[in-house]
């Protein structure tokens, strides 16, 4: 006689071997199986990224300089 292994027909405490919880120690010993679903098609455009970072930093510095100038102007008057 065969055992019905459909998940809906199992009792709450009844698990298959692949579903059993393992201890922390055995989990460290077992290797993980990783799968890659996709990969980068092109290398990242490093020049474009560097330009964007430089532009962001320049904008931040300009905003700080403007805020400092506004503070200096308001304290003079």
Tens digit of each residue's pLDDT (9 = 90 or more) over 14-72 = 555 555 555 555 556 677 777 777 666 678 899 999 999 999 999 999 999 999 999 98
What global pTM score does this model have? 0.42
Residue 22 near residue 30 (C-beta atoms within 8 A) = yes
Q: Please give, one letter per residue, the 3-state secondary structure of the chain.
A: CCCCCCHHHCCCCCCCHHHCCCCHHHHHHCCCCCCCCCCCCCCCCHHHHHHHHHHHHHHHHHHHHHHHHHHHHHHHC
* pLDDT at residue 53, rounded to an integer: 97
Each domain of the chain, given as residue ranges in start order, spans 45-77
What's the pLDDT band for 9 if we cut at 50, 70, 90? low
For residue 32, the model assigns a pLDDT of 76
Contact indicator for 16, 5 with CB cutoff of 8 Å: yes
């Amino acid at each position: 006689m065969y055992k019905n292994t459909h998940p809906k027909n199992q009792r709450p405490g009844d698990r298959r071997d692949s579903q059993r919880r393992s201890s922390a120690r055995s989990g460290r010993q077992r290797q993980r199986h990783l799968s890659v679903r996709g990969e980068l098609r092109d290398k990242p455009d490093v020049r474009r990224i560097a330009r964007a970072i430089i532009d962001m930093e320049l904008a931040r510095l300009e905003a700080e300089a403007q805020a400092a100038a506004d503070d200096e102007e308001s304290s003079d008057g």
